[in-house]
């Protein structure tokens, strides 16, 4: 089975400051990697995904994540956060075969005005 580690359970950051949310995974096989965001009382929304190709993937709202195979990481970054980015962020992996997704424990990002 795969495991996903999000070392930071809570990350407070001031508005307009940069942020990095860390995600590491363990797998001996090829995986697909995802970042999901969950706002209070809502379901999960896909933020970014890495399937193949360029290791740097970007979202339309300024987030980016870089797949690093040697370090088995998929860290999420944003150069300047907004109040509206306050949410729970989950990293997830899925093997290239099978239906099961494995989620990290989540990082609660709080943007301080």
Partner 1 sequence: DTEVTQTPKHLVMGMTNKKSLKCEQHMGHRAMYWYKQKAKKPPELMFVYSYEKLSINESVPSRFSPECPNSSLLNLHLHALQPEDSALYLCASRPSGGGNHEQYFGPGTRLTVT
Q: How far is the CB of 88 from partner 1 (least distance, A)?
A: 7
Question: Which 14-33 residues touch partner 1, going by CB under 8 A?
Answer: 32
Helix (H, G, I), strand (E, B) or coil at 59: coil
Out of 30, 42, 68, 110, the only residue in the binding site for partner 1 (CB under 8 A) is 42
For the chain, what percentages of helix, strand and coil (3-state, to nearest 5) are there? 5, 55, 45
Question: Which 65-104 residues touch partner 1, going by CB under 8 A?
Answer: 88, 90, 94, 99-101, 103-104
Measure CA 110 to chain center. 15
Q: Encode burial over 49-63: b for 16+ CB neighbours within 10 A, e otherwise.
A: bbeeeeeebebeeeb
> Does residue 55 interact with partner 1 by CB under 8 A?
no
What does the binding site for partner 1 look like in residue numbers (CB under 8 A)?
Answer: 32, 34, 36, 41-46, 49, 51, 88, 90, 94, 99-101, 103-106, 108
């Amino acid at each position: 089975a795969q495991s996903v580690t999000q070392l930071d359970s809570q990350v407070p950051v001031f508005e307009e400051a940069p942020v990095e949310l860390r995600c590491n995974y363990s797998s001996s096989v090829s995986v697909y990697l995802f970042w999901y965001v969950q706002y209070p009382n809502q379901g999960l929304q896909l933020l970014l995904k890495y399937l193949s190709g360029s290791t740097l993937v970007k979202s339309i709202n300024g987030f980016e994540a870089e797949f690093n195979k040697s370090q088995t990481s998929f860290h999420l970054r944003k150069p300047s956060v907004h109040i509206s980015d306050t949410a729970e962020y989950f990293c997830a992996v899925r093997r290239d075969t099978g239906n099961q997704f494995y989620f990290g424990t989540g990082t609660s990002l709080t943007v301080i005005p």
